[in-house]
């Protein structure tokens, strides 16, 4: 099922600001925050997933782990058994819904604020009446993913990244590929990085190559290329 993204008439500015959409483009913007104390070498990049009691037999959990595994493999990580793993990786995720109120004009005039030559409110020199606005409510769903990487031997947390997106699709499953892609782009990020990652939606509804992102701190120069097409502004 192709993920449904908000496209309101004329891309209402308030909706676009909330959803990270601009110019009616088909992309998803994820808000990413990362903390790290990362010193691993390429030889250390073996891991095993660590699950909570509720996640042990969850098919949903397995599905999300596969997405994370695919992204991490682009940075040289290898999923292995517990005895051989250098790291443990755990996931937390969830969704919540909220209502966004947008002020919209009741009447749209293609001639602009001064109207056309045959406008209904008087001769061409007469000013137009003030616009009438109404409040329109839209449902917005906020999906979140957090990824925690810890040293298996010591239990010390060495990397933590959170990714969130607001869309009008209630399905966390549909949002998860974008959350994973946004969270792990340019791994490892500098400690305390806060940034927005914009991910295009391809014709099949899957994440496309990253084309643009804005960050408070850029990724370190030595970070693997991984997700191609990323540019930092």
Return d(Cα 167, Cα 131) in angstroms, integer.
Answer: 29
For 138, the domain range is 13-215
**Residue 105 domain-assigned (yes or no):** yes
% of the chain beyond a pLDDT of 90: 54
Residues whose CB is less than 8 angstroms from the CB of residue 222 and which lie 6 or more positions away in sequence, other chains included? none
Mean pLDDT, residues 83-90: 97
Q: Give the confidence band of 88 by pLDDT, cuts at 50, 70, 90.
A: very high
**Residue 96 domain-assigned (yes or no):** yes
**Residue 196 domain-assigned (yes or no):** yes
**Residue 155 domain-assigned (yes or no):** yes
Mean pLDDT, residues 176-205: 93
Residue with tokens 């406008």: 119
Pairing of strands 78-79, 193-200: unpaired
Mean pLDDT, residues 161-181: 96
Interval 64-76: pLDDT, tens = 999 999 999 999 9
Decide if pLDDT at 2 tops 90: no
**Residue 2 domain-assigned (yes or no):** no
Q: Name the token pair of 42.
A: 């390429």
CATH code for position 142: 3.30.160.670
**Residue 65 domain-assigned (yes or no):** yes
**Residue 5 domain-assigned (yes or no):** no
DSSP string, 158-205: EEEEEEEEEES---HHHHHHHHHHHHHTTSSPPTTEEEEEEEEBPTTS
Interval 126-170: pLDDT, tens = 566 677 788 888 889 999 999 999 999 999 999 999 999 999 999
Mean pLDDT over all residues of the chain?
78
0.75 cut: is pTM over it?
A: no
% of the chain beyond a pLDDT of 70: 67
Task: Give the model's pLDDT for residue 171.
Answer: 96
CA end-to-end span of the chain: 32
- Which position has the higher pLDDT, 232 or 199? 199
**Residue 6 domain-assigned (yes or no):** no
Give me the number of domains the chain comprises: 1
């Amino acid at each position: 099922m192709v993920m449904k993204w908000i496209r309101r008439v004329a891309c209402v500015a308030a909706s676009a600001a909330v959803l990270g959409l601009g110019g009616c483009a088909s992309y998803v913007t994820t808000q990413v925050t990362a903390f790290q104390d990362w010193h691993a070498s390429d030889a250390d990049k073996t891991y095993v997933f660590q699950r909570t009691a509720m996640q042990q037999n969850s098919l949903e959990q397995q599905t999300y782990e596969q997405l994370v595994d695919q992204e991490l493999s682009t940075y040289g990580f290898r999923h292995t058994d517990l005895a051989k793993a250098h790291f443990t990786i755990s996931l937390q995720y969830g969704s919540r819904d909220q209502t966004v109120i947008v002020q919209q004009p009741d009447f749209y005039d293609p001639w602009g604020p001064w109207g056309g030559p045959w406008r209904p409110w008087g001769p061409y020199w007469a000013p137009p009446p003030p616009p009438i606005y109404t409040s329109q409510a839209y449902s917005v769903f906020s999906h979140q993913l957090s990824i925690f990487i810890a040293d298996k031997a010591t239990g010390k947390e060495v990397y933590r990244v959170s990714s969130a997106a607001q869309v009008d699709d209630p399905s966390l499953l549909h949002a998860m590929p974008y959350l994973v892609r946004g969270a792990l782009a340019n791994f490892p990020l500098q400690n305390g990085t806060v940034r927005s990652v914009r991910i295009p939606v391809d014709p099949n509804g899957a994440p496309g190559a990253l084309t643009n992102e804005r960050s408070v701190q850029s990724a370190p120069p030595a970070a693997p290329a991984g997700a191609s097409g990323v540019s930092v502004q």
